[in-house]
Amino acid sequence: MQFCDCGALLVPERQPNGKIQMRCPACGKTISSDSNSKAFEISQKIHHSEMEKTVIIEEPHGLETMPTAATLCDKCNNNEAFYWQLQTRSADEASTTFYRCKRCGHTWRDYG
């Protein structure tokens, strides 16, 4: 972020010739990219898909010492699985519980 000498946040603006300039909404001052001012860049917010947010756990160490829960596996209908919890969302939301079937190794999650 860049600020104007007057203290306001500079806003990017595209000129008719295609170049980008920074303009102060408070005082109207403009700074072009070819001036001697600090270089600036325009960025874009990236939105991740649910698949990109998925936590993949290869093989937890000490699986045999992990707690177990009575829950049904969708793959083999076994009713016992190891479980662990991770904070995968913001701190004010509940942890995500992951389960791994003791029989077939299928892993799934429960958002609780």
- Active-site position among 41, 58, 93, 110: 93
- Active-site position among 5, 41, 92, 110: 92
Is 56 exposed, middle or buried, given 0-12, 13-18 or 19+ CB atoms closer than 10 A? Answer: exposed
Q: Annotated catalytic, 92?
A: yes
Look at residue 99 and tell me whether its pLDDT is greater than 90. yes
CATH code 2.20.25.10 region(s) in the chain: 62-110
Structural domain 62-110, CATH architecture: Single Sheet (2.20)
Average pLDDT over residues 75-95: 88
> Which position has the higher pLDDT, 55 or 3?
3
CATH 2.20.25 for domain 1-44: yes
Of 62, 73, 65, nearest to 101 (Cα)?
Answer: 73
Q: Which of 17-21, 48-52, 60-64, 106-110 is the most confident on average?
A: 106-110
Pairing of strands 81-86, 11-14: unpaired
Of 54, 109, 111, nearest to 82 (Cα)?
Answer: 109
* Model confidence band, residue 62 (pLDDT cutoffs 50, 70, 90): low
Q: Annotated catalytic, 41?
A: no
* Model confidence band, residue 7 (pLDDT cutoffs 50, 70, 90): confident
Distance CA 104, CA 102 (A): 6
